Amino acid sequence: MVGGRAGFLTHMALEGEYEPSPEQWVREQVETYEATGGREANTLPDHPEWPIVVITSRGAKSGKLRKNPVMRVEHEGVYAAVASKGGAPEHPAWYANFKEHPHVVLQDGAEPHDYLAREITDPTERAQWWARAVEVYSPYAEYQEKTDRLIPVFLLERTDG
């Protein structure tokens, strides 16, 4: 951790080897988003009504940096990341990354910032954020119906001021 005010982290960008996604559409979206400062590729492909952010996390097993476009669910400067994987029976790979290495970098527009990710465990807090997520991206409700698992929701709170 880099020093700062008591209880607060200052900017500590993730460093290490970046391993692009095996999914071509993810690689291309992340590359375009970053190259344009979020002016392009800032929505789900073919869906301009659904905005995304790019989150960089450290791989739980590999330790390599991973970048994922995630739906933009934001409220008062805090973001939610919904581990839906389209309603699949298992969590997306980045779920384990967030659990193992909760320091992530989120880019919403031109500037990336450091965030700390925590899985919401309180049912009331989760219900509030789930409603916000479904409001932004209605398919989340269908995804929850498709799977037996409770889809995890992470809160990402900025740590670099």
- Any residues with CB less than 8 A from the CB of 47 and at least 6 apart, and which? none
Q: What is the pLDDT of residue 160?
A: 81
Ordered per-residue pLDDT tens for the chain, 161 residues? 333 333 333 345 799 999 999 999 999 999 999 999 999 999 998 899 999 999 999 999 999 999 999 999 999 999 999 999 999 999 999 999 999 999 999 999 999 999 999 999 999 999 999 999 999 999 999 999 999 999 999 999 999 87
Q: Letter for the amino acid at 160?
A: D
Integer Cα distance of 144 and 151 in angstroms: 6
> What domains can you pick out in the chain, each with its CATH number?
24-158 (2.30.110.10)
